[in-house]
Structure 1
Amino acid sequence: MSKQERWSRLLELLAVDGALDVEEAAVAVAVSPATIRRDLDELADQKLLVRTRGGAIAHGVSYELPLRYKSSRQVSEKQRIAAAVAELLREGEVVGLNGGTTTTEVARALALRTTGGAAESTSGPTFTIVTNALNIAGELAVRPQFKIVLTGGVARPQTYELVGPLTRGVLDEVVLDVAVLGVDGVDPELGVMTHHEDEADISRLFAERARKVVLATDSSKMGKRAFARICDLDRVDVLVTDSGLTPDMAARLTEAGIEVVSV
């Protein structure tokens, strides 16, 4: 296991339990306690946790894994979801993407789809991408098949998303064909949710400015609740998720008028 994989595992354990014990973490990760101590010291230096005697605790009351560590979770599922979402998008459309690991994979899948052949030989961009995610804009900006519109705003280091009034100022002036949203929770009664109210506000505006709303999220988010509501289910047109979606949840979402695509 590489250091990056080890750190991701430690942060996942911390996100679940809120605290880590050196000896227990060493068993879980299958390395020596000395290695765990060094890892925790380095993660503490990056402000990702708080060191305690014999272990560590989460940094702050509401703990969220930074995007670079979450990216290693459910990788194959997210890539399948992203490929399916990319196939739903038509050339010439204006597509909104909020931040997150799954929407980042959607951007990559769309780039692969438009690389080579007729899509890349056209005189103008194949897609217009409107995003508040710095990493997505950075990956696509060098590709001529995309026109990139990056919102302003204040950057959140956990997700690389821009939020706040400056972000709203740009989104208020655009019209989207499709908004592709990554989310933290989907509940049949409460709707679509995320962990932070500022991100929810921007994702809600993406949905409001779009003709069609596509949720791109793995099945672990189904039935989960998060702090801040984005929108009701009646605002969602399509859900693309993995095959781990339960038949009962799929039926309830279908009854709500959502087209469910499992991959």
Structure 2
Amino acid sequence: MAMTSVDERREKIVHLVNTAGSVSFGQIKTAFPEVSDMTLRTDLKALDECRRIVRIHGGARSVEFVIGTDDMLDSRSLRNVAAKETIAEKAAALVRSDSTIFLDSGSTTTMVARDLDDQRMLVFTASLTCAMELARLSLARSIIVGGALNRFSFSLNGGRTLEDVRGLNFDQFFLGITSYQDDFGFSCGSDEETAVKRACIERAEQTVALMDSSKIGRRSTFQICDLDDVDIIVSDGCLPESFLHDCARAGVRVV
């Protein structure tokens, strides 16, 4: 079906917002001078409702900027499913009885929560999707840290989340990864998500990064940590040799 002029304009708005990360209404108006303010506001409302962009006061932000990942969680859950299932099974096997773990937000960590054995342990998370999977466990105790709800990633973040995390110690932190570059390390697209990940790394005895090969060479805005800040990388078995060499040099175990 051919796109209408409305569809084409809205696609251009999405592209503008995603390219800039955050734009003011004035910038949108400048890009579409022939379109009325009322029509543009209707466009923004429609795009926000279908979660293509996020309306903010005075403009719009890209979904990537808001959630710190490559897309909305429900879209990411459909990508690289086989690789994520492999990673989730390997990661779940690393968890030991009577341990304390923290599950990051994201589609892969949600799969880890689904694959965890029902055993005595304490599981913290800021992810509502992880919490839903953990609800099936009867022997484990699960705790959701507080914070502001991100309606795109179904996770909690902000000052309350950081306060809760900094009051904890845990044996393992299972870190969800958006991007990795040799000269920048691990990164994501949201400063708030990055802050939570960093706080968890600081409080964890062991950091386990969950990483499929598609993350290598991708670029995101906010640096989480360097390669040598993690202890284990759980992969899909397809990581490039150059990266595996870097892991060995940094003393990072790859499974």
Fold conserved (TM > 0.5)? yes
Question: Secondary structure at 2:86's aligned position in 1?
Answer: helix
Residue 105 to residue 142, structure 1, CA distance change in 2 (3 Å): closer
State the shift of 1:62 in Å.
Answer: 5.6
Match of 1:215 among 209, 220, 233: 209
State the shift of 1:48 in Å.
Answer: 2.1
Separation (CA, whole Å) in 2 of partners of 1:179 and 1:62: 25
Residue 45 to residue 257, structure 1, CA distance change in 2 (3 Å): closer
Separation (CA, whole Å) in 1 of partners of 2:63 and 2:52: 12
State the shift of 1:170 in Å.
Answer: 1.0
Q: In the TM superposition, what whole-angstrom CA distance separates every residue of 1:132-188 from its partner, at most 9, and x where no partner exists?
A: 111111221342122111111001112111111110111111101000000111223
Task: Tell which deviates more after alignment, 133-142 or 89-98.
Answer: 133-142
Question: Secondary structure at 2:142's aligned position in 1?
Answer: strand
Question: Secondary structure at 2:112's aligned position in 1?
Answer: helix
In the other structure, the counterpart of 2:102 is 96
Match of 2:115 among 109, 112, 115: 109
State the shift of 1:69 in Å.
Answer: 1.4
In the other structure, the counterpart of 2:183 is 189
Contact kept? 1:188, 1:253, Cα under 8 Å: no
Normalising by structure 1, we get a TM-score of 0.72
Q: In the TM superposition, what whole-angstrom CA distance separates every residue of 1:95-144 from its partner, at most 9, and x where no partner exists?
A: 1111001111111111xx33xxxx4xxxxxx1211111111112213421
Number of matched residues? 207
The answer to whether structure 1 residue 66 and structure 2 residue 72 are counterparts is yes
Separation (CA, whole Å) in 1 of partners of 2:74 and 2:107: 8
Q: In the TM superposition, what whole-angstrom CA distance separates every residue of 1:47-68 from its partner, at most 9, and x where no partner exists?
A: 3237xxxxxxxx7446452101
In the other structure, the counterpart of 1:6 is none
In the other structure, the counterpart of 1:28 is none
Contact kept? 2:51, 2:63, Cα under 8 Å: no
In the other structure, the counterpart of 1:198 is 192
In the other structure, the counterpart of 1:49 is 52
In the other structure, the counterpart of 1:180 is 174
Separation (CA, whole Å) in 2 of partners of 1:197 and 1:137: 23
Separation (CA, whole Å) in 2 of partners of 1:106 and 1:153: 22
- Identity score, percent: 30
In structure 2, runs of 5+ residues without a counterpart are 1-10, 20-45, 54-59, 65-69
Contact kept? 1:99, 1:161, Cα under 8 Å: yes
